[in-house]
Structure 1
Amino acid sequence: MATILVLGGTRFFGKKLVERLLESGHDVTIATRGQAGNPFDERVTHLQFDRTDAAAFEAAVQGKSWDIVYDNICYSPNDAREAVRILEGKAGKLVFTSSLATYDPRASIRTEEDFNPHIHEIREGNTADFSYGEGKRQVEAVYYQQASFPVVAVRFPIVVGEDDYTERLLFHVQHVLERKPIAFASLDARMSYITSDEAAAFLQWAGEEAKAEPFNATASGDYTIAQFIALVEQATGERAKIALGGDDATRSPYAVGADWYMTNDKATRAGFTFSHLHDWLLPLIERLVASQR
């Protein structure tokens, strides 16, 4: 049994991670602002604070320590720097939820070597000062360059599932069913995906097994945007109205201008077995379609 702190963990794959950790018999503490309540009741210890409030963070963890800390909700170098200071001597290992967004879209599959957090220039700033991708790059840089504890950065692609509160996949289903236009930047761009269940499983593996290095975590396989839309059309029985460019109302959450996908070879060699995208994406879309009818 390990003692584990999860920063975040009350929705989507963070919630599923906590459920997996509890099922494995670990002693779990979650830290949240308390806005979503505590879905785990007395099975976890619940610390309530805003992780962007360093004083509150420090007070809440005073006198405590954990074998593994999961940081699912860090988006800026300032917050990462405070976490490094506050968790000094309190974290045996930290797993940071990072993103495919650390890589720029381009016409090639991305490997972990395409972004090196050990040499990335660290800047001052909060979440609003950076794009999402640069914010994640900054956090990785701070953790790898300044933390005394070992760090695993898990780079996820688009995470999907019936429990996805962002509703990015559902956006496409709804627009096709309602015959609304969907705008893309490129129909040829290839993209990676992972389910929320598999993301949770990978995070658990990263905490229990992975070396202190960055890892891509994605289902095997990929689809172009055109192939993805063809699956939505197949599931709905409707033809999609496709546009290029668009506005805020029509622009797809998947509107990337070039390939945005990555290999999972490194994690596979390290011992994690991934699902194959072609086995589950269409059934997931079909379930979302059924939920809308």
Structure 2
Amino acid sequence: MNELCVIGGSRYFGRRLVESLHAQGVAVTVVNRGSAPAPEGVTHLVADRDDEAALRRALAGRSFAAVIDQICYTPAQAEIAARVFAGRTARYVMTSTIEVYAGLDGAPFAEDAVDLAEQGPPATGYGPAKRQAEAVLAAQPDFAFVSVRSGHVLGGADFTGRLEHYVRRIRAGLPVTVHENPGASSFVHEAEIARFLAWAAGADFTGPVNAASHGELDVWELCAAIGTATSAAPAFTRVAGAAAGEVSPYSFERAFTMDTGRAARLGFAFSQVADWLPGVIERAVRTSVEEGAACAGG
């Protein structure tokens, strides 16, 4: 693979992606606002992606075999990217999300559950805005476009605090708030989604593709695994109706899973959630214990 550009890439699985590509001998350029230094040996361009003129200046004279956009959250950002990278790359991979399927019926969702041609005025909310960003980039004619719709990412240096929420409450004997009958969802390990993004950048298919490890997981199973790791019995508060807006991060009112058949047909083999979940939880529990001890000692 020739030189590859990663937009973002300063933390979590974006950082893992950059480090992995570099370790494989790929020439990597990272473009972000400079909140953290790039790994040694990686070219680092500092620019705010929302500032089109600044982005053009940073990229002047540069072109790439592919771009992986880790931080495209809105159609406005997608429009800037479509203009700036036209003529600079032959392939553009956007990191999208399972949240593009929010509010739809019919899980597990295949990629065609979302019609990118049917987009209304600028949307608010994470999932709808991501969906519209996909639509903008899919409609441009200047490069091949792929949207990687990632399941909920677990493992590694997770800055979201979602898994930590469960570990902290279960360790403390506090109840976890869930729907009355929560549904399962799709998850993926942070190293696996980084590997999938690198694979997608070097492939030749286009369009949306779902990315998730095999084996759906619901909030009961997640809490049970944390309970085993902490030797604590999880307690729950169940809510329904309007109050369900107060539920914990991985409690879903109904099944919220993705069909990864397209990825399999294209040749990517995902792992099983059961293979990596215990290790992820053990690390999260260990981190929680260490942080608690540090706070107590301080």
TM-score, normalised by the number of residues in structure 2: 0.90
Q: Which residue in 2 is equivalent to 1:286?
A: 282
Q: Which residue in 1 is equivalent to 2:292?
A: none
Q: Which residue in 2 is equivalent to 1:151?
A: 145
Question: In structure 1, what residue type is equivalent to 2:259?
Answer: T
In structure 1, C-alpha distance between the alignment counterparts of 2:211 and 2:137, rounded to whole Å: 19
CA contact 2:187–2:217 (8 Å) conserved in 1: no
SS in 2 for 1:223: coil
**Among candidates 263, 267, 271, match of residue 267 of structure 1:** 263
User: What does 1:38-49 correspond to in 2, within 5 Å?
Assistant: 38-41=37-40, 43-49=41-47
1:225-252 CA distance string (max 9 Å, x none): 222221121221112221134989x741
In structure 1, C-alpha distance between the alignment counterparts of 2:183 and 2:7, rounded to whole Å: 33
1:277 aligns with 2:276: no
CA contact 1:123–1:138 (8 Å) conserved in 2: no
Question: In structure 2, what residue type is equivalent to 1:109?
Answer: P
SS in 1 for 2:201: helix
CA contact 1:77–1:123 (8 Å) conserved in 2: no
SS in 2 for 1:140: helix
CA contact 1:186–1:225 (8 Å) conserved in 2: no
Q: Which residue in 2 is equivalent to 1:16?
A: 16
CA contact 1:186–1:256 (8 Å) conserved in 2: no
CA contact 2:218–2:251 (8 Å) conserved in 1: no
How big is the shift at 1:187?
4.0
**Among candidates 68, 73, 76, match of residue 74 of structure 2:** 76
**Aligned alpha-carbon RMSD (Å):** 2.0
Single out whichever of 170-179 and 219-228 deviates more from structure 2.
219-228
User: What does 1:1-293 correspond to in 2, within 5 Å?
Assistant: 1-35=1-35, 37-41=36-40, 43-105=41-103, 106=105, 108-117=107-116, 119-121=117-119, 123-124=121-122, 130-245=124-239, 251-293=247-289
How big is the shift at 1:162?
3.1
CA contact 1:88–1:149 (8 Å) conserved in 2: yes
CA contact 1:191–1:259 (8 Å) conserved in 2: yes
CA contact 2:185–2:256 (8 Å) conserved in 1: yes
In structure 1, C-alpha distance between the alignment counterparts of 2:239 and 2:46, rounded to whole Å: 42
In structure 2, C-alpha distance between the alignment counterparts of 1:101 and 1:68, rounded to whole Å: 25
**Cα separation, partners in 2 of 1:87 and 1:286, compared to 1, 3 Å:** same
Q: Which runs of 4+ in 1 moved over 2 A?
A: 104-108, 185-188, 244-248, 290-293
1:170-227 CA distance string (max 9 Å, x none): 2101110011221122443011110110010000000011401211000001122222
In structure 1, C-alpha distance between the alignment counterparts of 2:38 and 2:7, rounded to whole Å: 15
How big is the shift at 1:122?
5.3
CA contact 2:149–2:210 (8 Å) conserved in 1: yes
Q: Which residue in 1 is equivalent to 2:294?
A: none
Percent pairwise identity: 33
Structure 2: 5+ residue stretches without partners = 290-298
How big is the shift at 1:108?
2.3
CA contact 2:230–2:285 (8 Å) conserved in 1: yes
CA contact 2:180–2:239 (8 Å) conserved in 1: no
How big is the shift at 1:116?
2.6
Single out whichever of 257-266 and 150-159 deviates more from structure 2.
257-266
In structure 2, C-alpha distance between the alignment counterparts of 1:252 and 1:141, rounded to whole Å: 30
How big is the shift at 1:28?
0.8
CA contact 1:77–1:138 (8 Å) conserved in 2: yes
Aligned length: 286
TM-score, normalised by the number of residues in structure 1: 0.92
SS in 2 for 1:171: helix
